[in-house]
Amino acid sequence: MSAHQYDHGHTLAGWVGTGIASVGAAVAGAGVCFVSGVLIVGGLGFGVVALLVTWALHLAGWGKGPGIRPREEWGWRVRDSGARAGHDECLGCRLAGRRRTAGSGRVDEVAAGVVVRGDVSVGVGVGGEPEAAVVVADSGR
């Protein structure tokens, strides 16, 4: 069993990107120590490669967007089934042209299993149409 109660976004895309960026930081640091512009630029190049590889893996489903996920999707080796539609509030998905409207798709499915303590109300939006309720899950700590 996991030591923490929530998924902290540990993904294959995150681990690979962090590994490549760490190598780039080491190369750039060596460039500073040896006063070598070639190594500094090479290290910065590794940083750009890390960014692009992480983004590509995220779009391929090996990264996860922000939000609550079911426990079976917490593993870092689990592909995200909702990646093709895009993630809510995800800059990488927006830059790739994958936009999803707020409150659609997987978020609703996950929210159905969340226990909510306290008052939940639905407001009235512009034009008298019902507005979606804002639900905050209690961590139970």
Question: Residue 48 is which amino acid?
Answer: V
pLDDT for res 141:
45
pLDDT tens across 83-100, in order?
A: 777 877 788 888 888 876
Q: What pTM was estimated for this model as a whole?
A: 0.62
Listed as own residue / partner, the contacts of 12-16 with beta carbons closer than 8 Å and 24 or more positions apart are 12/57, 12/62, 12/63, 12/76, 12/77, 13/54, 13/57, 13/58, 13/62, 13/63, 14/54, 14/63, 14/76, 15/76, 16/53, 16/54, 16/57
Quickly list DSSP for 39-74: HHHHHHHHHHHHHHHHHHHIIIIIS--SS---GGG-
